[in-house]
Structure 1
């Protein structure tokens, strides 16, 4: 019986590359190792595709609703979106630098800041938030699919509902979700290094949907609509402007925190930088601007409540024109872009990053693909239709997880760029004992914990006040501080971590070493002029030229 159990465990282990130079351990598998050169397939245009998917999506379209609700005029909101997009790009460069230089993702990089054991905390935090968001992204994808099929089969749009009213889910929405999931499941099997073409297709389709809606509504309204000309209602434009910027940063905060999950696939240095600094702000700003204009024009045509979600705007077009063939054709092609966008954004911000995070929890048995499927199961099991329909507080709490994401970003940026000055000992990131310089005290770095909660606590009273809709004067200041979550949380944790490491420096500062096996060097700058003999010398010295700093135990995590 014992032998059969061992054989079963062996068969359940995640696959390894043929002639692999690593082993599946508690800290290592194919998706966690520094990305080898043959798998670095992303160039400049690939990263432009990544950011066009991240910036051109339903979330970016609806950004204007948040900004206008806070009292900004449409023109002011557009200015905020542009500036917020530029800052998002700069933040993405800073967070993705370790991926470009050392070819490791967020899951592994958390280990040098939090300790080998402590790294589970930020990883689990990201997994929890991502599973919830995936459920809602999938639900929206299902609704877009329902609109698409309703354009093909008009009767489907008005299909009789067989679910109870308390389920908060219509039968045609459920069918749309099943169809969308059927498309998402095989997409997970495409490895990240091969996703450039699907991303490009998604962007073309979604861009067509955006401009199609823009042309349709502006033509029908004979202009941008009356709402676009309304002045702002804020008593303090400067405060509203700052809130708008932090709202943009918070919306893309989780994506920027995990930038190294994608930049580690770069085929050369600076390949992601152009897209981060140009494609990110341009696509976010253009999409949000189109969303504001279309919503304004649609309000004049359709009347009633303001509709910010493009899915519902497409459905209303079909209703307004009584399912005419022309309207159905436009709705079909428009919803096709929304469906593809939801598929792509779910892969970009949820599937790959969450799969890698789950692989970090149990590398022997979970890789990106298996982790993505686990995420999908958990996300759907949360019944997002219930959460979206009945739990306004839940959505506020989920949005409030920026309270935790921002300090985590501050800790990572301070440690990598300021404390360690981008120098890492990669082999020690896969060594789970006290011989690793990243073991700290029992595997946990207390400096990261103190800095993290220093960035969290000032924002908690504002989170409580926002979730419970408290209007008491004593909460006004805290709520205003909470509205600047990402800026305040990042700055506080960054500063505290920097100061703590200045007075209590961690071990191994300035040490560097590659992730090594035989004569292969990964995670460092592979120069074509370097001979095999020189590589062997580097391995013998731990890769830092000091003649003896390399520990035999550091390479014990890879198979010989």
Structure 2
């Protein structure tokens, strides 16, 4: 029995490249090592497309509704979106720098700031949130399938008899569409990240054409942009001012998970500056344009149908409900097709690939990015995401405020790399455990990062709880929470930097490359009983040999 278990354990190990300069260990596999030169394929067009997909989604489309609900006018809401999008852009550039220059992702970089074992904490945070968001995004992908098949098949599909009870929070047609989406989506997870540029380019062309197509149709049909654009603010004074501040935090929170993990994608950059155009120009431009189009389309369609539809999927389903003329069927079909491409790309870009690498860190010998993607998808199905979408619960409020935990982690990541390490890393030590690693700290935990993160989070918790319980009344705790992202980012980052200044660690600065011991045989792999990693060593630049594209040249 034990021999059989060993056989299957070896059989199920992650594949290793031919002539590889690494071993599958507790800390290392193909998707966790610094990306070698032959896998750095992403150009500026790829990153521009990445941000069109990331920016032109439901979150940006419905951002206006969130801000108008806070009592802002459309002009004030757009001002908040402009400000928030440029802040997102700046953080994305900084957070992605380590990926495009050291070819390391968030998962491995977390080991430098939190410790080899402590680094699992930020990784687990991202996995938990990604599982929920993956479920939600796949549900909306199912709605795009519902729109497409409703246009093709007609009422027979769109209005099929619902055989599910009301307690299911989903109808039969939506559930069938959800699984059809997954059947189409699952094979795409086989495509490695370095080969995703072409599919994503096709997706972002479809997304752009769809947004402007819906804009032209709605304004032309309504003979104008509607009355919503002229609506005044419903709040004033200090309440309005604090709601504007909170609105900026809300916009940052929507993209907090994506910007903290920017290095997961920038490590595939063909050149160190390939991602800058996408992050600096495409990112804010796409978010701003999508939000503005969302407001105009919602306003114009209110003139047409007498009802505000902030969610584009609900708008298209309503169009099919009131009119299934050939023109309506053609229009909703092509729009649904674009949203299908958008949801697939969004699930891959924002959820699957990054979380796949996070899961790979939990068990590198048996989980790589691809396997992690499928594990994530299975969990996304298991949580029954329609319960979160169709049932307004406290959990949704909790999920939307999760950025209070991610903001501190983002601050620690950035302050650690630029101010504590000064952009220098002992890369080999990121794949070693034990006292020989620069990032082992105390029993694998960096207490400085833990203290810094707690200091950036605990003052936000009272306001967070009050927001969840809907008991906010504008007191001091509520206002601290209104500043949540900035507070967590800067407090955690600064405290982390100060603690490292007062209590420095060995090899805190300085650099050494990622090298593997190539002088090994098939039978003797040199696994250290201390660090638990095969053949990894961190050497100074003075030693013989060099690193070219993440591989040792001897």
TM-score, length-normalised on structure 1?
0.91
Note if contact 2:117-2:444 (Cα within 8 Å) is conserved in structure 1: yes
Question: Which residue matches 1:147?
Answer: 147
Question: Which residue matches 1:504?
Answer: 503
State which drifts further: 507-516 or 120-129. 507-516
Note if contact 2:21-2:518 (Cα within 8 Å) is conserved in structure 1: no
Where does 1:245-260 land on structure 2 (aligned, <5 Å)? 245-260=248-263
Note if contact 1:208-1:334 (Cα within 8 Å) is conserved in structure 2: no
Question: Which residue matches 2:540?
Answer: 543
Instruction: Count residues with an aligned counterpart.
Output: 529
Q: Does 1:288 align with 2:287?
A: no
Label 1:333 to 1:191 Cα distance change in 2 as closer, same or farther (>3 A): same
The Cα offsets for residues 124-155 of structure 1, whole Å up to 9 and x where unpaired, read as 11100000110011111111211111011112
Where does 1:66-465 land on structure 2 (aligned, <5 Å)? 66-155=66-155, 156-236=157-237, 237-304=240-307, 306-320=308-322, 322-465=323-466
Label 1:333 to 1:541 Cα distance change in 2 as closer, same or farther (>3 A): closer
How far apart are the structure 1 equivalents of 2:269 and 2:381?
32
Q: Does 1:478 align with 2:480?
A: no
SS of the residue aligned with 1:373?
A: helix
SS of the residue aligned with 2:515?
A: strand
The Cα offsets for residues 58-94 of structure 1, whole Å up to 9 and x where unpaired, read as 2211111111111221122222212211111110011
Runs (4+) of structure 1 moved beyond 3 Å? 517-520
Label 1:132 to 1:220 Cα distance change in 2 as closer, same or farther (>3 A): same
How far apart are the structure 1 equivalents of 2:48 and 2:517?
36
SS of the residue aligned with 1:516?
A: strand
Note if contact 1:29-1:367 (Cα within 8 Å) is conserved in structure 2: yes
Q: CA deviation at 1:540?
A: 10
Question: Which residue matches 2:62?
Answer: 62
Note if contact 1:105-1:262 (Cα within 8 Å) is conserved in structure 2: yes
Question: Which residue matches 1:533?
Answer: none
How far apart are the structure 2 equivalents of 1:499 and 1:164?
57
Q: CA deviation at 1:220?
A: 1.4
How far apart are the structure 2 equivalents of 1:243 and 1:463?
12
Q: CA RMSD in A?
A: 2.0
SS of the residue aligned with 2:269?
A: coil
Label 1:225 to 1:38 Cα distance change in 2 as closer, same or farther (>3 A): same
Q: CA deviation at 1:506?
A: 2.1
Gap runs ≥5 in structure 2: 520-535
TM-score, length-normalised on structure 2?
0.92
The Cα offsets for residues 444-463 of structure 1, whole Å up to 9 and x where unpaired, read as 00000000011111111111
The Cα offsets for residues 271-322 of structure 1, whole Å up to 9 and x where unpaired, read as 1011100000001100010000001111122113x221000111122233x2
Label 1:150 to 1:279 Cα distance change in 2 as closer, same or farther (>3 A): same
The Cα offsets for residues 184-208 of structure 1, whole Å up to 9 and x where unpaired, read as 1011111000111111111111112
Label 1:319 to 1:447 Cα distance change in 2 as closer, same or farther (>3 A): same
Note if contact 2:428-2:538 (Cα within 8 Å) is conserved in structure 1: no
Gap runs ≥5 in structure 1: 521-538
How far apart are the structure 1 equivalents of 2:222 and 2:381?
39
How far apart are the structure 2 equivalents of 1:374 and 1:45?
30
Label 1:300 to 1:177 Cα distance change in 2 as closer, same or farther (>3 A): same
Q: CA deviation at 1:239?
A: 2.6
State which drifts further: 310-319 or 183-192. 310-319
